[in-house]
């Protein structure tokens, strides 16, 4: 998670965008993070996913909706749950790679001998229904590049 945050912060710096980190480590931390976003309203939310944020995704998506804060997520299912957009690895192809590694190990390969692989297929998904609810008109060029558009 730290590496993903650092990558986002580095990209933001190149774009001249400031990043405010609101880390959560327990379910009760969300209320403090939400209160801080109300006090110091960001232009948008980038939710870096981990088990805690995924388990509490409904709270985050609802907070973004109520406060009309555009949010981008890492995984498609978060957009299908009502999030605005996601850009991240295709979970099906990642799962297939994991299955391949498991098969190799079960056939006798040593895990230490297997190469480190990173995702190679990423997808952009946009929820136009959510955009409309927020009163956001997304650029047609962005929508046309999406792998999936939810209407």
Domain 2-90+124-150 homologous superfamily, CATH:
Response regulator (3.40.50.2300)
9-23, 25-39, 43-57, 75-89: range with lowest mean pLDDT: 9-23
Of the candidates 33, 15, 4, the residue with the CA atom closest to the CA atom of residue 118: 4
3-state SS, residue 50: coil
pLDDT value of residue 23: 84
Q: What is the pLDDT of residues 97-145, one digit of tens each?
A: 999 999 999 999 999 999 988 899 999 999 999 999 999 999 999 999 9
Q: Could you tell me how far CA 136 lies from the centroid of its own chain?
A: 19
Sign of CA dihedral 61, 130, 127, 145: negative
Q: How far apart are the first and last CA of the chain?
A: 31
Show me where the domains of the chain are located: 2-90+124-150
Does pLDDT of 28 surpass 90? Answer: yes
Q: What is the pLDDT of residues 70-98, one digit of tens each?
A: 999 999 999 999 999 999 999 999 999 99
């Amino acid at each position: 998670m730290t590496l993903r945050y650092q990558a986002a912060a580095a990209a933001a710096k190149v774009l001249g965008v400031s990043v405010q980190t609101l880390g959560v480590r327990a379910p009760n931390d969300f209320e403090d993070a939400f209160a801080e976003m109300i006090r110091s309203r960001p232009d948008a939310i980038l939710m870096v996913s981990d088990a805690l944020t995924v388990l509490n995704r409904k709270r985050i998506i609802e907070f973004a909706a109520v406060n009309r804060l555009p949010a981008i997520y890492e995984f498609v299912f978060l957009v299908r749950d009502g999030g605005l957009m996601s850009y991240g690895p295709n979970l099906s192809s990642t799962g297939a790679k994991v299955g391949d590694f498991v098969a190799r190990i079960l056939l006798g390969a040593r895990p230490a001998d297997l190469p480190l692989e990173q995702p190679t297929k990423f997808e952009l998904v946009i929820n136009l229904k959510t955009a409309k609810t927020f009163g956001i008109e997304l650029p047609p060029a962005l929508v046309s590049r999406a792998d999936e558009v939810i209407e």
